[in-house]
Structure 1
Amino acid sequence: MAAPIRSGFALLNRVLRSDSLSTQRSAIQRSVLTPAFTASEYSKNLSTSSLQKEEKIKLPITLYGGTGNYASALYTAAKKSKVLDQVESEVFDLMEASKNSPNFSQFLKDLSVPADTRIKAINEICGAAKFSDITKNFLAVVAENGRLNYLESIVNKFKQLTMADKGIVKAIVITVIPLPPQEEKELKETLQEVIGQGKKVEVEQKIDPSILGGIMVEFEQKLFDMSIRTRAKQMERYLREPADFDAL
Structure 2
Amino acid sequence: MAAASASPANETARRYASALFDLAKEKGELERVDTDLASFAKMAKDSEDLTRLLESPAFSRDEKTKALKAIAEKAGLVKTVASFLATMATNGRSNEIVGAAGHFDELYAKHRGVKRAIARTAEEMTAPQRQKLEAVLAKAVGSDVELETEVVPGLIGGIQLRVGSTLIDASVASKLERMNTAMKGA
Q: Same fold (TM over 0.5)?
A: yes
Q: Tell me if structure 2 keeps the 8 A contact 1:33–1:67.
A: no
Partner of 1:107: 53
Q: Give the Å deviation of 1:215.
A: 0.7
**TM-score normalised according to structure 2 size:** 0.73
Q: Give the Å deviation of 1:86.
A: 3.7
Residues 1:227 and 2:171 are matched in the alignment:
yes
Per-residue displacement from partner, 1:120-171 (whole Å, max 9, x unpaired)?
A: 4335555785843x43443234213444244334323322332332333332
Q: Give the Å deviation of 1:90.
A: 3.7
Aligned partners of 1:216 and 1:130: how far apart in 2? 34
Residues 1:203 and 2:142 are matched in the alignment:
no
Per-residue displacement from partner, 1:55-85 (whole Å, max 9, x unpaired)?
A: xxxxxxxxx7554444333223322443323
1:151-162 equivalent positions in 2, closer than 5 A = 151-162=97-108
Partner of 1:59: none
Per-residue displacement from partner, 1:23-44 (whole Å, max 9, x unpaired)?
A: xxxx699x88532xxxxxxxxx
**TM-score normalised according to structure 1 size:** 0.58
Letter of the 2:111 partner, please give it. Answer: D
Of 42, 58, 64, the residue aligned with 1:118 is 64
Aligned alpha-carbon RMSD (Å): 3.5
1:109-188 equivalent positions in 2, closer than 5 A = 109-123=55-69, 131-132=78-79, 134-188=80-134
Q: Tell me if structure 1 keeps the 8 A contact 2:17–2:101.
A: yes
Of 193, 204, 212, the residue aligned with 2:139 is 193
Q: Percent identity?
A: 25
Highest CA radius of gyration, 1 or 2? 1
Partner of 2:21: 75
Runs of at least 5 residues in structure 1 that lack an aligned partner in the other structure:
1-26, 36-63, 244-248
Classify the secondary structure of the residue corresponding to 1:113: coil
Classify the secondary structure of the residue corresponding to 1:178: coil
Q: Give the Å deviation of 1:191.
A: 0.6
Aligned partners of 2:70 and 2:82: how far apart in 1? 10
Classify the secondary structure of the residue corresponding to 2:8: coil
Greater length-normalized contact order (CA 8 Å, ≥ 6 residues apart):
1
Structure 1 or 2: larger helix share?
2
Letter of the 1:151 partner, please give it. Answer: I
Aligned partners of 1:210 and 1:229: how far apart in 2? 7
- Cα distance change on mapping 1:210 and 1:127 into 2, 3 Å: closer
Runs of at least 5 residues in structure 2 that lack an aligned partner in the other structure:
none
Classify the secondary structure of the residue corresponding to 1:203: strand
Q: Tell me if structure 1 keeps the 8 A contact 2:114–2:145.
A: yes
